[in-house]
Amino acid sequence: AQTVTQSQPEMSVQEAETVTLSCTYDTSESDYYLFWYKQPPSRQMILVIRQEAYKQQNATENRFSVNFQKAAKSFSLKISDSQLGDAAMYFCAYTSAAGNKLTFGGGTRVLVKP
Protein backbone atom coordinates (compact mmCIF):
# COMPACT_ATOMS: atom_id res chain seq x y z
CA ALA A 1 0.00 0.00 0.00
CA GLN A 2 1.12 3.51 -0.69
CA THR A 3 2.04 5.72 2.24
CA VAL A 4 2.84 9.41 2.46
CA THR A 5 4.81 10.90 5.33
CA GLN A 6 5.17 14.52 6.35
CA SER A 7 7.67 14.70 9.19
CA GLN A 8 7.12 18.34 10.15
CA PRO A 9 3.88 18.93 12.10
CA GLU A 10 4.45 22.69 12.09
CA MET A 11 6.76 25.18 10.41
CA SER A 12 7.15 28.87 11.13
CA VAL A 13 8.46 31.42 8.62
CA GLN A 14 9.01 35.16 8.61
CA GLU A 15 7.06 37.11 6.04
CA ALA A 16 9.04 37.43 2.77
CA GLU A 17 11.32 34.53 3.74
CA THR A 18 11.45 31.00 2.33
CA VAL A 19 10.20 27.79 3.92
CA THR A 20 10.56 24.20 2.73
CA LEU A 21 8.10 21.44 3.62
CA SER A 22 9.20 17.82 3.49
CA CYS A 23 7.30 14.87 2.09
CA THR A 24 8.33 11.29 1.47
CA TYR A 25 6.25 8.51 0.00
CA ASP A 26 6.40 4.82 -0.58
CA THR A 27 5.14 3.10 -3.71
CA SER A 28 6.05 0.24 -5.99
CA GLU A 29 4.51 1.92 -9.01
CA SER A 30 6.48 3.80 -11.62
CA ASP A 31 3.73 6.06 -12.94
CA TYR A 32 1.95 8.32 -10.48
CA TYR A 33 1.13 11.89 -9.57
CA LEU A 34 2.10 13.94 -6.54
CA PHE A 35 0.33 17.00 -5.22
CA TRP A 36 0.56 19.66 -2.57
CA TYR A 37 -2.79 20.90 -1.28
CA LYS A 38 -3.35 23.90 0.95
CA GLN A 39 -6.16 23.91 3.51
CA PRO A 40 -6.90 27.27 5.17
CA PRO A 41 -9.27 27.53 8.15
CA SER A 42 -12.19 27.66 5.70
CA ARG A 43 -11.56 23.88 5.14
CA GLN A 44 -11.46 24.32 1.37
CA MET A 45 -8.67 22.16 -0.07
CA ILE A 46 -6.84 24.12 -2.74
CA LEU A 47 -4.36 22.59 -5.16
CA VAL A 48 -1.01 24.37 -4.91
CA ILE A 49 1.13 22.37 -7.29
CA ARG A 50 1.28 18.98 -9.03
CA GLN A 51 4.06 16.79 -10.36
CA GLU A 52 3.85 13.93 -12.82
CA ALA A 53 6.30 11.20 -11.89
CA TYR A 54 7.44 10.69 -15.50
CA LYS A 55 8.59 14.31 -15.73
CA GLN A 56 12.10 14.95 -14.52
CA GLN A 57 11.66 18.71 -14.44
CA ASN A 58 10.50 20.08 -11.11
CA ALA A 59 7.12 21.83 -11.19
CA THR A 60 6.84 25.52 -10.34
CA GLU A 61 3.82 27.74 -9.79
CA ASN A 62 4.73 31.36 -9.10
CA ARG A 63 6.21 31.40 -5.57
CA PHE A 64 5.76 27.65 -5.10
CA SER A 65 8.19 25.06 -6.38
CA VAL A 66 8.95 21.43 -5.68
CA ASN A 67 12.07 19.34 -5.42
CA PHE A 68 11.07 15.94 -6.80
CA GLN A 69 13.59 13.18 -6.18
CA LYS A 70 12.05 10.04 -7.67
CA ALA A 71 14.76 7.62 -6.63
CA ALA A 72 14.62 8.88 -3.07
CA LYS A 73 10.81 9.08 -3.16
CA SER A 74 10.95 12.62 -1.88
CA PHE A 75 8.70 15.53 -2.85
CA SER A 76 9.38 18.76 -0.94
CA LEU A 77 7.58 22.06 -1.37
CA LYS A 78 9.36 25.40 -1.26
CA ILE A 79 7.39 28.55 -0.59
CA SER A 80 9.36 31.65 -1.54
CA ASP A 81 8.62 35.22 -0.46
CA SER A 82 6.12 33.93 2.11
CA GLN A 83 2.97 35.96 2.54
CA LEU A 84 0.47 36.11 5.41
CA GLY A 85 -2.07 34.42 3.15
CA ASP A 86 0.17 31.36 2.90
CA ALA A 87 -0.63 30.45 6.50
CA ALA A 88 -2.55 27.16 6.37
CA MET A 89 -2.25 23.39 6.62
CA TYR A 90 -0.35 21.87 3.73
CA PHE A 91 -0.93 18.29 2.67
CA CYS A 92 1.24 16.20 0.42
CA ALA A 93 -0.75 13.65 -1.59
CA TYR A 94 -0.12 10.74 -3.92
CA THR A 95 -2.26 9.08 -6.53
CA SER A 96 -1.49 6.31 -8.96
CA ALA A 97 -1.77 6.90 -12.68
CA ALA A 98 -5.23 5.36 -12.55
CA GLY A 99 -6.14 8.09 -10.06
CA ASN A 100 -8.54 6.03 -7.99
CA LYS A 101 -7.89 7.86 -4.74
CA LEU A 102 -5.56 10.29 -3.05
CA THR A 103 -3.34 9.13 -0.21
CA PHE A 104 -2.49 12.05 2.06
CA GLY A 105 0.31 12.78 4.46
CA GLY A 106 -0.47 13.96 7.96
CA GLY A 107 -0.09 17.62 7.09
CA THR A 108 2.21 20.47 8.03
CA ARG A 109 0.88 23.65 9.59
CA VAL A 110 2.62 26.75 8.24
CA LEU A 111 2.67 29.86 10.40
CA VAL A 112 3.73 33.14 8.81
CA LYS A 113 5.07 35.83 11.13
CA PRO A 114 4.64 39.46 10.07
Partner 1 sequence: GAGVSQSPSNKVTEKGKDVELRCDPISGHTALYWYRQSLGQGLEFLIYFQGNSAPDKSGLPSDRFSAERTGGSVSTLTIQRTQQEDSAVYLCASKLGGISSYNEQFFGPGTRLTVL
Binding site for partner 1 (CB under 8 A): 33, 35, 37, 42-47, 50, 52, 91, 95, 97, 99-107
Residue nearer to partner 1 on the CB measure, 64 or 104? 104
Quote the least distance from Cβ 103 to partner 1, whole Å. 7
Q: Facing residues of 68 across strands?
A: 75
Residue nearer to partner 1 on the CB measure, 38 or 82? 38
Are 39 and 91 in contact by the 8 Å Cβ rule? The answer is yes
Residue nearer to partner 1 on the CB measure, 42 or 62? 42
Quote the least distance from Cβ 5 to partner 1, whole Å. 11
Question: Cα(104)–Cα(99) distance, rounded to whole angstroms?
Answer: 13
Quote the least distance from Cβ 33 to partner 1, whole Å. 5
Could you write out the DSSP letters of every residue in 22-84?
--EEE-S-SSEEEEEEEE-TT---EEEEEEETT--SPPEETTEEEEEETTTTEEEEEE-S--G
Residue nearer to partner 1 on the CB measure, 82 or 92? 92
